[in-house]
Amino acid sequence: MTNSENNPITMRPAVPQNGMPPHVYAVRPKRQYTFPQKLLALSMLLFGYLYMRAFFFTSANIGRTLFAWLLLAASAAYMTHCKIRLNAASIAAGALTAAFSLMFTVGLSGLPSFLNSVFCQLSYTYFVYKAFDTSIERGPGEMFSFDLLKAVFVQPFSSFGALFPAVFAPAKAGNKRVLRTVGLVLLGLLASVIPTVIVVSLLSFDSHFTSLLDRFFRFDLDAGTTVSHIASLILGIPVAMYIFGLWASGTFGANSGMNRASCAAFRERAHVLPQLLVFAAVTPVLAVYVLFFISQFAYYTSAFTGVLPSGYSYAEYARSGFFELCAVMAINSLIALFIHLFVRRSGKNVPVRVYTALIGVSTLILAATAWAKMLLYVDTYGLTLSRVYTLLFMLAMALLFIVLLVKTIVSKTPFIPIALSILLLLFGGLIFPNAPAAVSAYNTEQVLAGETWELDEDYFWQLGEAAIPDAVLLEKSNRANAATRAGATQFLDDYEKYGLSEDKGVFAFSITRARAERALAERK
């Protein structure tokens, strides 16, 4: 669907005033929504409600996966009916949404679950956005930041109010009767949710009735549960408006003025700062780095040799200055971004490239030092989730600055596609192994192999239900030290009392939870 087919623009001359020559202005007619678009709008109301249930009001695991796949299936059916041809970027984004949403079935928790939720929502938005001929570039390139901005904010919110006009606007004569029938049925079903919930909650006093329903879902509806369903319906409306706004803007070619040429011109206008001014401000920072590296060379290179400086324990040495190094790396990233966005260009941009390279080299030295200190710490005390996150952060920073250094030497290097590939691989390395389960398995293997690490109760609680099978194993093993066995026993006892989720519905199922429940049953 193109703008000319759905929303033609008529050019009309204005009435001359005060003897001035007439000018031409654009008149955009009212949008006319087709029958499939009306069905899409109605379905988005349902998806808005399901989104709130899956991501906010229930502890859904497989439920989130089913939601994402159902949304992708509905989107694909609509695109197929409307003969929308997908490009490679759209197909890739849809495939990533399906693949990463599948990991909710494993049973993600904590930060990985939050990050995966955000990623799946962004990738679905990008999937729909790229399906229409309104994007700034065909694939991720030098304009990716503008493309993402347009996909996430500009397109959905520019048609944010299109949902209800699409639902209630008159249809073509041939579709009015069908649309009226379908619309009344869907609205009736939507309206029936609240009274149905109330009736079920009132009848749930009967054990035979609830046991019948529990074969499929868990029905234990009290006043709080009823309120949560009502809240899901209400809060799901803005979600539906956002998703349909994205579809409507793509269908009617909205915001076509935000294109590659206009974004390139905007970026060029942003280069306002003289090179001399910026480089004079950055030079003292680089000089401080040089002095720091010289004065602390022996101290920080101890991390690579494994020899502790005198007066330090492993924990003190690993923590000393570690977070400061990470903060400086983050500051260097902001400096490099600032130079890229705001410094004027001239000729071959040799000064810009030189200073970017110097910042990159200093960041790589800092990253290597921090990485070695953290590995020394892990070798002495084992893995935790926070250490995994830190290692991945430093690895990402190092790889991105390596690509940036290559970009300063070979200007045609496609930085954005390579950087996105690196980040995607590292993110997949965090999500697909299920980080809590991977950390638990690694530490358990090392302890059973003879490491003297003491895994206390707090360690097991940080990993949650993913650590239960390994905790049961450590509790029974004579190869684990007494402190670890005691920590595992205390964790398992407390988890059986306080940690077991009350949500036993089918949508709360996860592989991690099933393994945990089986391990607890075997423990008894």
Quick: pLDDT tens for 30-45.
788 888 898 899 999 9
pLDDT of residue 300: 60
Residue linked to tokens 């009132």: 202
What is the C-alpha separation between 282 and 335, in angstroms, rounded?
A: 8
What is the C-alpha separation between 155 and 316, in angstroms, rounded?
A: 51
Q: What are the tens digits of pLDDT across the range 480-518?
A: 999 999 999 999 999 988 876 556 677 888 999 999 999
What is the C-alpha separation between 330 and 21, in angstroms, rounded?
A: 57
User: Where is 10: in which H helix or E strand?
Assistant: strand 10-13
pLDDT of residue 215: 52
Specify the amino acid at residue 311: G
Among 26-35, 253-262, 325-334, 347-356, which is the least confidently predicted range? 26-35
Task: Say yes or no to pLDDT of 237 above 90.
Answer: yes
Specify the amino acid at residue 430: L
Q: When comparing pLDDT for 423 and 190, which is higher?
A: 423
Closest to 442 in 3D by CA, of 451, 269, 477: 451
What is the C-alpha separation between 309 and 321, in angstroms, rounded?
A: 14
Say how many residues make up the chain: 524
Specify the amino acid at residue 6: N
Among 223-232, 266-275, 462-471, which is the least confidently predicted range? 223-232
- What value does the mean pLDDT take over residues 460-478? 94
Residue linked to tokens 């923590």: 319
pLDDT confidence bin for 5, thresholds 50/70/90: very low
Q: What are the tens digits of pLDDT across the range 275-319?
A: 889 889 999 999 988 888 787 666 666 656 656 666 666 666 666
pLDDT confidence bin for 369, thresholds 50/70/90: confident
pLDDT of residue 462: 93
Among 168-172, 235-239, 447-451, 468-472, which is the least confidently predicted range? 168-172
- What value does the mean pLDDT take over residues 323-330? 83
- What value does the mean pLDDT take over residues 319-342? 84
What is the DSSP annotation of 11-73? EEEPPP-TTPPP-EEEE-PPP---HHHHHHHHHHHHHHHHHHIIIIIS--SHHHHHHHHHHHH
> Backbone phi, then psi, for 318, in 5-degree steps?
-65, -40
What is the pLDDT of the chain when averaged over all its residues? 84
Closest to 151 in 3D by CA, of 250, 225, 22: 250
pLDDT of residue 368: 85
Task: Say yes or no to pLDDT of 444 above 80.
Answer: yes
pLDDT of residue 190: 66
Q: What are the tens digits of pLDDT across the range 57-85?
A: 888 899 999 999 999 999 999 999 999 99
- What value does the mean pLDDT take over residues 185-206? 67
What is the C-alpha separation between 51 and 239, in angstroms, rounded?
A: 8
Q: When comparing pLDDT for 5 and 393, which is higher?
A: 393
pLDDT of residue 11: 44
pLDDT confidence bin for 325, thresholds 50/70/90: confident
pLDDT of residue 358: 93
Q: Is 273 left (phi over 0), alpha (psi -120 to 50) or beta?
A: beta
| pTM higher than the cut 0.75 | yes
Among 72-81, 107-116, 166-175, 480-489, which is the least confidently predicted range? 166-175
Q: Is 389 left (phi over 0), alpha (psi -120 to 50) or beta?
A: alpha
